[in-house]
Chain A
């Protein structure tokens, strides 16, 4: 179930180069799982902008987005108090019940945000998450402390080695052995690398250019072993075993 509502921008601040954290105030009852996304209408743009939910509570939604085009650039200029028309509760989200006692959460760049609420939920259920987040360079790293504050074991990788493990998230994951299940969100080449190296079962969150965001237009279809799926409606999270690369 999803719903359109008006939301007020409570804050919108840069937390890394080209990366912004926005807090929105409004109805959140239609968000039911970590890993879901919201679809934001922007003045002057025909289509909405789908952005994953980083965190939410009774009346606020936190999103983290990277400026990659004109739409997200416009978002970065929105002032506190701006009212936005947003669809919430979109996408399937992650399956928390699969996690086991020691889930591995992998985020690459702006694929990191949906891991935050997932981590929070898993900690609430007394799980002991391991979080591996990868960035290009030290200045791009965000949310490391916030994951630590939740009580997770956190590893950071940077491609240039300026912070944490040098290389990719997989350079951390290859040395980990005690995780029970994995969740990953990030660029497709990262997802593929995680898929190839991570042991056991898991689920991965994908991205695609969308039309509607709620399953009507078939703009974001992908092939899976269980048939055609719409990333916006049957995804963005796919189980490891159904993925066709």
Chain B
């Protein structure tokens, strides 16, 4: 059966395939139900959620790049209460797969508060803790840039939930392995990497930054080799599952990420360019597996390591 060939397991949560739209590129899922049946996905990492509603950054928030884009959304979201009251029920109407909540915060307490609330939602089977968003001036990135604060957030969140906690890391650090290990020490059930790379563009016509907030997170196929390298390095250093993310666009990319050590793979920017990206990747996986003589996807996790 095809599903068995594709299925993977994240801390006891069985996904029918390893393909997960990445947080921030898929809204709360239902927007994509207008394009295809989103129940074919392995899971969905939902839009990053904070305690209070956030408008986010001023526009323009998007800058195009060769092989990618820069975004500076600034964690726009309706706040944890509205996510629970409105977004999750609306998604439930069109989607019954296990979901990943993505939680952001500006203090350790805020992370814990949101995780405790989302912990009670049946639809949510994994909590992804974003300690890496590079867009917000007064928080977020700070937690992901030192092992101590990364561990502190992880521990605080683990105390308030029994669901698997996956910590999403920023690549904008000197040593990602140290951070990943600190999260594992703090009790993380898994690691998600990488978030966007800090970047910028300047408009030649007005000689000013394209993005209102000047800088933003660079994503898209251009960052795939960086993400792959970090997944590879972290796989060698930790004993918990990794979700690989960064520039994945094809079934081949998914397989490469898994060979580097990812148990599942998130697809981000590709969804914005092609709303059918995840569907096409899932449909192509069996063909590409056959081509490379892969019987079961779960067999190849980390296979590139010595």
- A1, A214, A219, A228: which contacts B62 (Cβ < 8 A)? A219
Identity of the chain A residue whose Cβ is nearest the Cβ of B29 in the assembled complex: A216
Given A217-B62, A220-B61, are A47 and B69 neighbors across the interface (CB < 8 Å)?
yes
- Residues from chain A with a CB closer than 8 A to the CB of B89 are none
Q: Is the CB of A212 within 8 A of B59?
A: no
Q: Which residues of B contact A215 (CB under 8 A)?
A: 27, 31
When the two chains form their complex, are residues B272 and A212 in contact, meaning their CB atoms are under 8 A apart?
yes
The answer to whether A1 and B76 touch across the interface, beta carbons within 8 angstroms, is: no
A74 CB within 8 Å of chain B: no
Flag if A45 contacts B64 (CB, 8 Å). Answer: yes
In the bound complex, what is the Cα–Cα distance between A218 and B217 (angstroms)?
Answer: 14
Q: How far is the CB of B51 from chain A (nearest CB, A)?
A: 17
Closest beta carbon of chain A to B140's beta carbon, Å: 16
Q: Is A209 an interface position by the 8 A CB rule?
A: yes
Interface residues of A in 215-232 (CB under 8 A from B): 215-223, 228
| Residues of the B chain whose Cβ atoms lie less than 8 Å from the Cβ of A214 | 31, 34-35, 275
Check B27–A211 contact: CB distance below 8 A.
no
Count of chain A residues with a beta carbon within 8 Å of a chain B beta carbon = 28
Question: With A2-B34, A46-B69, A228-B76 in contact, do A218 and B275 touch (Cβ < 8 Å)?
Answer: no
A21 within 8 A of B: no
Known: A212-B271, A233-B31. A217 touches B64 (CB 8 A): no
Q: B76 and A46: CB pair below 8 A?
A: no
Docked complex Cα distance between A219 and B62 (Å): 6
B241 interface residue per 8 A CB criterion: no
Query: Which of B35, B56, B60, B272: most chain A CB closer than 10 A?
Result: B272
Q: Which residues of A contact B67 (CB under 8 A)?
A: 46
Residues of the B chain whose Cβ atoms lie less than 8 Å from the Cβ of A217: 24-25, 27, 62, 71, 73, 272
Q: Is the CB of A211 within 8 A of B56?
A: no
A48, CB-defined interface residue at 8 Å:
yes
Assess the A209–B272 pair: CB atoms within 8 A.
no
Bound-state Cα–Cα, A223 to B56, Å? 11
Distance of A41 Cα from B67 Cα, bound (Å): 13
**Is the CB–CB distance between A221 and B59 below 8 Å?**
yes
Instruction: Decide yes or no whether B293 CB sits under 8 A from chain A.
Output: no
Query: How many of B's residues come within 8 Å of A, CB to CB?
Result: 34
Q: Tell me which residues across on chain B come within 8 A of A41, comparing CB atoms.
A: 273-274
What is the count of residue pairs linking A and B with beta-carbon distances less than 8 angstroms? 95
Q: With a CB–CB cut-off of 8 A, which chain A residues contact B210? A: 209
- Which secondary structure dominates where chain A touches chain B? loop
Q: Return A157 CB to nearest CB of chain B, in Å.
A: 26
Beyond A46-B220, A47-B272, is A216–B31 a contact (Cβ under 8 Å)?
A: yes
Q: Which parts of B65-124 form the interface with A (CB within 8 Å)?
A: 65-69, 71, 73, 76
A211 near B59 (CB under 8 angstroms)?
no
Question: Are B64 and A46 in contact (CB-based, < 8 A)?
Answer: yes
The yes or no answer to A210 lying at the interface (CB within 8 A) is yes
In the complex, the answer to whether B34 meets A218 with C-beta atoms within 8 Å is no
- Chain A residues lying within 8 Å of B64, measured Cβ to Cβ, are 45-47, 71
Q: Could you tell me the distance in whole angstroms from the C-beta of A150 to the nearest C-beta in chain B?
A: 32
Q: Is A4 an interface residue (CB 8 A)?
A: yes
A22 contacts the other chain (Cβ, under 8 Å)?
no
Question: Which residues of the other chain, B, contact A208 by a CB distance below 8 angstroms?
Answer: 59-60
Give bound CA distance, A82 to B25, whole Å.
29
Q: How far is the CA of A214 from the CA of B62 in the complex (A)?
A: 14
- Bound Cα distance A216, B271 (Å): 9
- Whether A87 sits at the interface, judged by CB under 8 Å, is yes
Kindly provide the distance from the CB of A73 to the nearest chain B CB, expressed in whole angstroms: 13
CA distance A214 to B27 in the complex (A): 10
Q: Do residues B65 and A46 form an inter-chain contact, with CB atoms below 8 A?
A: yes
Across-interface contacts of B26 in A (CB, < 8 A) = 216
In Å, the complex CA distance between A4 and B273 comes to: 11
Cα distance A215–B220 in the bound complex, in angstroms: 18
CB contacts (< 8 Å) of A71 on chain B: these are 64
**What does the 1/0 interface line of A109-128 toward B look like (CB < 8 Å)?**
00000000000000000000
Q: How far is the CB of B136 from chain A (nearest CB, A)?
A: 14
Q: Mark A182-226, 1 if CB is under 8 A from B, else 0.
A: 000000000000000000000000001111101111111111000
Contacting pair B73 A219 (CB below 8 A): yes
Question: Which of the residues A47, A87, A218 comes within 8 Å of B73, measured between beta carbons?
Answer: A218
A-B contact pairs, 28 of them (CB 8 A): A2-B35, A4-B275, A41-B273, A46-B273, A47-B69, A71-B64, A87-B275, A211-B61, A211-B71, A212-B272, A212-B275, A214-B35, A214-B275, A215-B31, A216-B27, A216-B31, A216-B271, A217-B27, A218-B73, A218-B76, A219-B61, A219-B71, A219-B73, A221-B59, A221-B73, A221-B76, A223-B55, A228-B55
- Taking Cβ atoms with an 8 Å cutoff, the residues of B that contact A are 24-27, 31-32, 34-35, 47, 55-56, 59-69, 71, 73, 76, 210, 220, 269, 271-276
Inter-chain pairs besides A46-B69, A221-B59, 6 sampled, C-beta below 8 Å: A211-B69, A212-B273, A215-B31, A216-B27, A218-B24, A220-B59
> Considering the complex of A and B, which 3 residue pairs feature the smallest CB-CB distances, nearest first?
A212-B272, A219-B62, A209-B60
